[in-house]
């Protein structure tokens, strides 16, 4: 039987009870997006007095921060000029930029810490009110194969960390979310569908859901989606359902925990029961093993999971 838990109502929360601080860096402008793979945290920043929309890679092992190049302008356009998504696998980063007025130019860029000059992979122009035509997914480098995925409408592209294409696959409908882990890729499409592919693009499985999906995550022990205020986990056992607070956004998940943001706080939700804890303050979060990366305004810090 599915379980429905109302987060923030049935739990006693204690600030920062689930994580201990380890290290931090300060960005030159507010952090817009965050991604985490292995020992590297990628983050995109907004506008500062001298720059805009810059992407950085923080190496937790060496403590070095690499600034990647930028080939987009800083002109303030009527419907925005910003980085919408960022993803990393190994030393390679993908980021999605947009700028425009009644029409928006969406451009997909890639660079590495050793070759920081960005290369544009795609450019698509759409009306400003249209959904983003390009979608990035969580990247992952592992012994089972590294995958750095993106999609343009229905076309899914999986890159290797060296930039070579691993495979291309055509989804049955427009792609809305992607996530890679352990040599597999989950593709969420319009209509509440998720298809799981292996590292060659072969279909491993398919799941249908009751409503449209905003986010999909491969957790290591199941498939997790956010659809509206509902978190739904499917694995070999009974499915789990949790109701999120209003305006909550799923940021990441790994093993038996999901991390979501609401009203400037990051929460860790157990996917094996009712337990939830506040990780800390922040607008973005990402997890890798026992380490959680958190962004709050200009501060990027790592926390050690303690439960």
In the chain, the number of structural domains is 1
> Would the pTM of this model clear 0.85, i.e. be above it?
yes
Q: What pLDDT was estimated at residue 307?
A: 66
Q: Residues with Cβ < 8 Å from 115, sequence gap 6 or more?
A: none
- Chain Cα centroid distance, residue 169: 20
Q: What pLDDT was estimated at residue 58?
A: 98
Residue 242 domain boundaries: 4-305
Q: What pLDDT was estimated at residue 15?
A: 36
Return the closest-CA partner of residue 149 out of 286, 161, 101. Answer: 161
CATH code, domain carrying 203: 2.130.10.10
Q: What pLDDT was estimated at residue 20?
A: 67
Q: How big is the CA angle at 227 (ends 19 and 258), to the nearest 5 degrees?
A: 15
* b/e burial code for range 79-109 (CB count within 10 A of at least 16 → b): eebbbbbbbbbbbbbbbbbbbbeeebbbbbb
Give the tens place of pLDDT for each residue, 64-107: 999 999 999 999 999 899 999 999 999 999 999 999 999 999 99
What are the DSSP calls for 268-304, one per residue? EEESSSS-EEEEEE-SEEEEETTEEEEEETTEEEEEE
């Amino acid at each position: 039987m599915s379980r429905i838990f109302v987060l923030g109502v049935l739990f006693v929360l204690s600030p920062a009870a689930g994580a201990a601080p380890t290290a931090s860096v300060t960005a030159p402008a507010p952090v817009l997006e965050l991604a985490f793979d292995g020992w590297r945290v990628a983050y995109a920043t907004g506008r500062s007095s001298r720059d805009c929309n810059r992407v950085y890679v923080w190496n937790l092992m060496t403590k070095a921060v690499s600034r990647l190049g930028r080939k987009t302008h800083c002109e303030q356009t009527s419907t925005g000029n910003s980085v919408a998504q960022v993803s990393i696998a190994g030393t390679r980063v993908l980021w999605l930029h947009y700028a425009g007025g009644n029409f928006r130019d969406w451009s997909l860029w890639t660079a590495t810490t050793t070759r920081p000059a960005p290369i544009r992979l795609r450019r698509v122009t759409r009306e400003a009110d249209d959904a983003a035509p390009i979608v990035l997914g969580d990247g992952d480098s592992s012994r089972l194969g590294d995958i750095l995925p993106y999609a343009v409408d229905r076309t899914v592209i999986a890159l290797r960390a060296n930039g070579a294409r691993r495979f291309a696959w055509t989804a049955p409908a427009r792609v809305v979310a992607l996530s890679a882990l352990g040599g597999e890729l989950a593709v969420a499409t319009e209509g509440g569908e998720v298809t799981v592919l292996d590292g060659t693009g072969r279909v491993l499985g398919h799941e249908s859901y009751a409503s449209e999906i905003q986010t999909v995550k491969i957790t290591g022990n199941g498939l997790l989606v956010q659809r509206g205020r509902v978190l739904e986990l499917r694995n070999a056992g009974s499915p789990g359902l949790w109701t999120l607070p209003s305006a909550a956004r799923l940021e990441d998940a790994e093993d038996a925990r999901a991390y979501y943001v609401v009203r400037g706080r990051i929460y860790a939700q157990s996917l094996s029961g009712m337990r939830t804890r506040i990780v800390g303050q922040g607008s973005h979060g990402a997890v890798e093993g026992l380490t959680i990366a958190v962004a709050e305004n200009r501060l990027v810090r790592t926390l050690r999971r303690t439960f």
